[in-house]
Amino acid sequence: MSALAGALARCPAIAIVRARSVRYVPAVLDVLAGAGVTAVEVALTTPGGLRAIEGAATTPGLVVGAGTVLHAAQARAAVDAGARYLVTPAVVPDVIAAGVDAGVPVVCGALSPTEILASARAGAALVKVFPIGTVGGVGYLRAVRAPLPDIPLVPTGGISVAESVGYLRAGARAVGMGGPLVGDAADGGDLAALAGRAETLVRTLRPEPADA
| Gap between the Cα atoms of 97 and 42, Å rounded | 20
In degrees and rounded to multiples of 5, residue 200 shows phi and psi of: -65, -40
163 is catalytic: no
Instruction: Using the Cα atoms of residue 110, residue 116, residue 137 and residue 62 in order, give the sign of their dihedral.
Output: negative
For the stretch 113-119, contacts whose Cβ atoms lie closer than 8 Å and that sit 24 or more positions apart, written own/partner, are 113/144, 113/147, 113/148, 115/90, 115/91, 116/144, 116/148, 116/151, 116/153, 117/148, 117/151, 118/91, 119/91
Cis preceding-peptide flag for 180 (omega within 30 of 0): no
Q: Which of 8, 46, 3 is nearest to 25 (CA)?
A: 46
Specify whether 128 is catalytic.
yes
Catalytic residue, from 54, 115, 128, 199: name it: 128
Q: Which of 41, 54, 199, 208 is catalytic?
A: 41
Residue among 125, 9, 129 at smallest CA distance from 63: 9
Active-site residue set: 41, 128
